[in-house]
Amino acid sequence: AQSVTQLDSQVPVFEEAPVELRCNYSSSVSVYLFWYVQYPNQGLQLLLKYLSGSTLVKGINGFEAEFNKSQTSFHLRKPSVHISDTAEYFCAVSSTGTASKLTFGTGTRLQVTL
């Protein structure tokens, strides 16, 4: 079984400031890692994913994340946020087996202000 912990339920940040959203996971098997974003009244959109290879993963909208196996973390970063980045962000894991089941964290609300 897997679990995901997103330590911050809300992260307020000023526009053009850098941001880091934290994600830690627990699993007894190898996992794939994902970050999704959800805008109000919409479904989830994939920002980036780690399957294998380079531990630094670049995604859409200027986001990147680093997989750290020893710390079981997959933190999301952006060097300069925009008002339009205000949304809910979800970290998720799935096993590397045949199942597509995603286990999500509780989400982090990123609030960008001027």
Partner 1 sequence: KAGVTQTPRYLIKTRGQQVTLSCSPISGHRSVSWYQQTPGQGLQFLFEYFSETQRNKGNFPGRFSGRQFSNSRSEMNVSTLELGDSALYLCASSQDLGGGYEQYFGPGTRLTVT
Q: Would you tell me which residues interact with partner 1 (CB under 8 A)? A: 31-32, 36, 41-46, 49, 51, 90, 92, 94-107
Q: CB of 16: closest distance to partner 1 in angstroms?
A: 29
Judged by CB, which is closer to partner 1: 46, or 83? 46
Distance set, CA 51 to CA 20, 22, 25, 39 (Å): 21, 19, 15, 25
Judged by CB, which is closer to partner 1: 13, or 44? 44
Judged by CB, which is closer to partner 1: 54, or 100? 100
Q: CB of 1: closest distance to partner 1 in angstroms?
A: 11
Q: Are 70 and 19 in contact (CB under 8 A)?
A: no
Q: CA nearest 103: which of 20, 26, 10, 51?
A: 26
